[in-house]
Every structure is written in structure tokens, then in C-alpha cells.
Structure 1
Amino acid sequence: MFHSSILVIQTYLDVGMLIYLIKNKQNALFLSGVYTRYKTFLNKDKVILKRVIKGVQTKRPVEVQNVMLRRYFLELTQSFMIPLERHMASLMPLQRNISPHKAPPRLRPFDPEEFLKTVEHSGPQLTSGIKGDWEGLYKRFFPSPNFVGWYRHREHEVNQKLQVLHMEALSNVDVQDWIRDKEEVEIVDLILRLREKLTFAANNQSAVNKDCVVKLHRHVDTIICSLPDDLQGVLKT
């Protein structure tokens, strides 16, 4: 998910205003350029500027100019976000390391310094021709609410995915073999854990495979039936 506003573009000018300034530059002598109090991290993109000016000269509709600029800024933002998405993927545990006999793993914490070490060789320059201080732009981005919102959303998505993978691992175990040498207290604990998984599945139906849920229900029934009658009565209520 890309938060396309204010990630890369720190100052937004409506195309209509830009066109007005270009058309009326002789009447606006006090304006020799566009000024902002923000620090510039990326070099000027003369190509897009020439395209905008040409559009003014050829009387291209403002709506078309707007679409062109929006697409340009979207692609620039995507180039900025792709390295972050790639780094987030590297923080996710490998699926083969997800064990049904252990608690589900979680996403490793994001370390800004660790990420910045990757920018030189696998940063936005791989997908964008714009040069500049990309590392400085990331440093400016990390303390911002936009990064916090993006990171929390991605962290939630990844941890949810890990929960689903852990459920699938649990659903595929031989539960009778698993509980064969277990004490009753361990078996009851397993039932409670499986029920927690089923509650998670009920709250995230779109993310969980229905076959997986059916298998987990069968596991719970199988385990309960292996217990003494008095304990079965307690667990079935």
C-alpha cells in the first residue's frame, strides 16, 4: 500500500497555479521561482518540467496536465517505497522455520540504520532516474506520521500472515501422535491454544483457508475425546 501524499513530494502546487505563473510571468516580476521552506533532497527533474511547460505552450487541458503530474509523483513515490517493502520482506521469518510445536514467530523489528546500509546498492535509483540524497530523504521520512502509519499497517499484515501460516502448520500435524505422551494439563493447554486460533480465524475469515479451520475443529474434537469423561464435560461446555 503506497501512501502517495507527502512521502516524496514535500510541496504540492496545483497545475492551474503553475500555468498561471508561467502565462503571467511578465506581470509577476517579484516571482523569479517557486520558493519553499523545505530542504530539497532530490535533484530537479528537468524532463517533467519541460513536459509541463510544453503542455502550457500547446494549450494542453489542465486535467491532462494534472493526470500527468499525478502519475509522475505516484511513480516517484513507488520508487521510494519499493526498497522499504523489500526490506520488510527480509524481516519476515522463513516459512520453513514456522513450527506447530512453538509459538508463531513475529516480524523482526525495523532498524533504520540497517535499512540505510542497503540504499546505496538497492535504493530508489534502481527504478528512478532521479538523483539526489535519497538517504537523507529516508531519514526525514522515518520520524514522520506517514512512516509510522505505513509501518504499523505492514507490521499488522505480516504478523497476520504469520499467524495464518502457523495455523496451517497446526492443522497438518498428526494430533493423536502429538498428544500420546502428554500430561492432561499439557493437552488442555493445547486445546485452549487451538481455540484461540479458531477465534482468530473467525475474526479474520478472509485471510484464513476454510479447510484449515475445519481441520482445527477436528483436532479439538479428537483431543477432547481422548480425555476422561469428567474433563470432556468441562471442555465441551
Structure 2
Amino acid sequence: MNKFNIKEIEETIGVSFNENKLLKTSLTHSSYANQHKDQEYNERYEFIGDAILQLCVTEYLFLNYKEKSEGELTKIRSLIVCENSLYEIGCKLKLGSFIRISRGEELTGGRERVSIIADAVEALIAGIYLDKGLEFVKDFILGHFQIIINMAINNDIVLDYKTKLQEELQKTGEVSIVYELTKYEGPPHRRKFFTTVIVDNKEFGSGDGYSKKEAEQNAAKEALKILEEVNE
């Protein structure tokens, strides 16, 4: 299991904590706490982090996009504050390599799991808030989410890659799109699935995930990237 290196983490996320315990708790998964007595884990931090993220994004959209209606702002916010966006931020911050998880969770792909990384981002936001205050964490959030915010404003974020792929491929007529489960591995409670998307009997992309739905979405995402390269 990776050693929890405070200095390395702080350099990577660009935040120096006054109270190291807040950082440790932010990046401690319940599976680790279950094996280490009296160790606090990050689920309660997620609760605070989600509220702070919602507040900061809501305020930013309200102040900067006065021409947009309440309904439009709500839709835009839902694209920004979602598991996929949190996962992207978590990957950029390399949180998967820093999270304290149990050996069993690590062996079954916990460091790459979308939900674990997304939850860790929310918890980290809470930790920064508790250590530095609202204004500091607001700057942190807006700094890291700005690209996602811009994409949401321009409606460039895709949440359902399967639907998007179908729309793109069927612009010129009907095509056959099949998602084929090629294999799976790991124990039943932490099974990883591998899927290939087949378009008109030809392999067009592949993906994996800890549910069949996630694997199919990732396969469609890769297929969209391939389609984009072909059309350039």
C-alpha cells in the first residue's frame, strides 16, 4: 500500500494544509478505516464538500450568466456538479494514487473506481474548506473546474456516450451498434467488465468498468474519439 506522503500530495494538489489530519481524513476510504481502529474516513466530508461545490458553482453561474434563466442555470450546474466531472478532476489531481484504501479494495481496482475518486474530490473540497475557509476553497474549485464550466456553458459535455455515439453514427443512415461483453475479472462483489462496441460487424472501440453499464459507456466514449479522429 502506498505511503501517505503529505508533502507530495500538497505539491500535486497545490494546497498546503495547516492541519494535516484534515487532508488525511479527506483521502481515507471507509475500507481503510475498517481495518485501522479509531481512523476517521471521508464519508462525512463528502456531505460538506458536495454542498460547498454546489454553492460555489451556483454563485459563479448566477453572477456571470445573468442572461440565463433558472432552468438553464440548473441544467448547466447539473453538467458541472456530477460524478463524471468529479472523476475527471480527481484523475488530474492524481487522487487515485493518494487515497488510503484497504489492500482488498486496492486489489480489486479501487484506486481507479469512478465513485471512489469522485467522492474523494468532494471530501478534499471539504478538507480544504475546513482548513482554509470558503474564499480559499472557492478559488480552488473555480480554478480546477473552469474548463468543465466552460464546456457546460457551451453544451460540450456528454453524459450519455452511448446515445451520443448512436446519434453521430446514424446521421447518414441506420447502422448496427452492438455492445459485446468480452470478459470479466475479479470477485463477484468487485467484478470488472470489459466491453467492445461493434458497428456494422466491425470493432470500433472498447472500454471497461465496474458495472456493465460503465464498461459500455467507456467503450462508446472511446468510439466517439475514434470517430472524431476519422472525421478530422
TM-score band, normalised by shorter chain: under 0.3
Which protein, 1 or 2, shows the higher relative CO under an 8 Å CA cutoff with sep ≥ 6? Answer: 1
Give the number of the structure whose residues are more often strand, by fraction: 2
Greater Cα radius of gyration, structure 1 or 2? 1
TM-score by length of 1: 0.25
